[in-house]
Structure 1
């Protein structure tokens, strides 16, 4: 799937579902899609910017920002640049922004 063509609506029905984040060949994390946010349209692009936030069960460790493979049974594999946002009471949150 071409990430340049993804929109807010592609993720709307996937909110609160579980994806897999492939950090490396050896590290796979279950991650729930917990937030989907429309962003101000500051760009001349057709797509309106948006962000998605995943939460893993990590309690103490996290991975630095980078490009990770996001896997979903319906959407397939997506290569996304993700940034750690910090821990909440459940686990670690990671964000991907589509501008």
Structure 2
């Protein structure tokens, strides 16, 4: 699967995939994620502006913030910096901000 160019991705690339399944690769194996929120995050140097993604993983041990390969059939493999943000929709919430 091809790697996505993070600089070229915009909020409109993620909006159609709200509630879709993604996979986060960790040293312990793949962790399923659901894209729970796609929100604008103000103006930035990024064409189309900054945006925020909230992913929800199954409830369990928290993964530390860091860069993880996240895969989606249509978007490819993305190396995304994810930060744990607390419980969301009964699971572990992780946020990525694109600026």
TM value normalised by structure 1: 0.90
Q: State the partner residue of 1:57.
A: 58
**Alignment counterpart, residue 20 of structure 2, candidates 13, 17, 20:** 17
Whole-Å separation in 2 of the counterparts to 1:44 and 1:76: 24
Whole-Å separation in 2 of the counterparts to 1:62 and 1:11: 24
Q: Please, which runs of 5 or more residues in structure 1 have no aligned partner?
A: none
Whole-Å separation in 1 of the counterparts to 2:10 and 2:22: 17
Whole-Å separation in 2 of the counterparts to 1:83 and 1:54: 10
Whole-Å separation in 1 of the counterparts to 2:56 and 2:89: 11
Question: Shift in Å at residue 81 of structure 1?
Answer: 0.5
Question: Shift in Å at residue 89 of structure 1?
Answer: 5.0
Q: Say which SS state the counterpart of residue 63 (structure 1) adopts.
A: coil
Whole-Å separation in 2 of the counterparts to 1:29 and 1:37: 23
From the superposition, tell whether residues 89 and 39 of structure 1 become closer, same or farther in structure 2 (CA, over 3 Å).
Answer: closer
TM value normalised by structure 2: 0.90
Whole-Å separation in 2 of the counterparts to 1:46 and 1:12: 16
- Higher relative strand content: 2
Whole-Å separation in 2 of the counterparts to 1:30 and 1:17: 10
Q: Please, which runs of 5 or more residues in structure 2 have no aligned partner?
A: none
Note the aligned Cα RMSD (angstroms): 1.3
Tell me which stretches of 4 or more aligned residues in structure 1 moved more than 4 Å: none
